[in-house]
Structure 1
Amino acid sequence: MQGIPRSALILGLAGLVPFVWGALTVLSEPLNFWSGQTLGGRFTGPYIGLFYGAVILSFMSGVLWGFATKASGAVAASGYVLSVIPALWAFFMTGGGPVSASINLIAGFTGLLLLDWMFWKQGLAPEWWMGLRVLLTTIVVICLAVVAFA
């Protein structure tokens, strides 16, 4: 975690809250009940993690697009094309119920990590980028696995 700007780390970790909350409410029936009664079904169980996961994949498409702007020529063109994949993946692959949506989001976040690595390897992402992305992606995948397999 050395080298990751403090603000990026704090915001990245804060962005995990909906994923962790979703997993916790899947694992704990009393917490699930309380959350459903207090916050509503949309912020409980698999729903919060799945909806938020689709939002974050779309957000990350924008981040990758920003990295592509640092390139030129064919590298930029391929970067723009690749940057839209996470958003399209989220749009097309999150239907069909919580199990398939969770598994598809796990695949989407895993693929996103590969795209992160590609942009980072080309020098388009900050030097600290992969340290942050591996940490965040690992936690997201664990939380989505809870939704898929618990």
Structure 2
Amino acid sequence: MSLRFNYRSANEPAFQAMLKIETFASKSGLDKRLYEFIKIRASQINGCAYCLDMHTKDLRAMGETEQRIHLISVWRESGDFFTDEEKAVLELTEAVTEISKAGVSKELYEKVRTYFDEKQYVDIIMAINVINNWNRLAISTGMYPECF
């Protein structure tokens, strides 16, 4: 496997634009662990090894257990390892990442709104969007774990 090119240096303004969106999402007030769950689940769906490697390391550094990290991909079947709030966000992450399949149902919207107000809902959508953008950049340019 080889890196096609470094998009960061090939188009610095594009990279800076992505960093601005990332900064917005990371400073929104969303719980940091929940933000990493979003990044991991979207990266699993999109098949982004680079981002999965990065964000599982980040979550470990926050003190998250290996067991919960390994169960993110099967959160529905993992019993009580995730809170109802975390499950709602993971479900929304899946729906938004695969938006063309079924959109975001009214039921899912209402489930998420049980735990988050309108501003927080938008913050979550922005977090989902930014990791999907990073995944697409990484995959399209051939990034893989430790390629830099």
TM over 0.5: no
Q: Which has the higher contact order (CA 8 A, sep 6+)?
A: 2
Q: Please identify which structure carries the higher helix content.
A: 1
TM range (shorter): 0.3 to 0.5
Larger Rg: 1
Normalising by structure 2, we get a TM-score of: 0.33
Normalising by structure 1, we get a TM-score of: 0.33
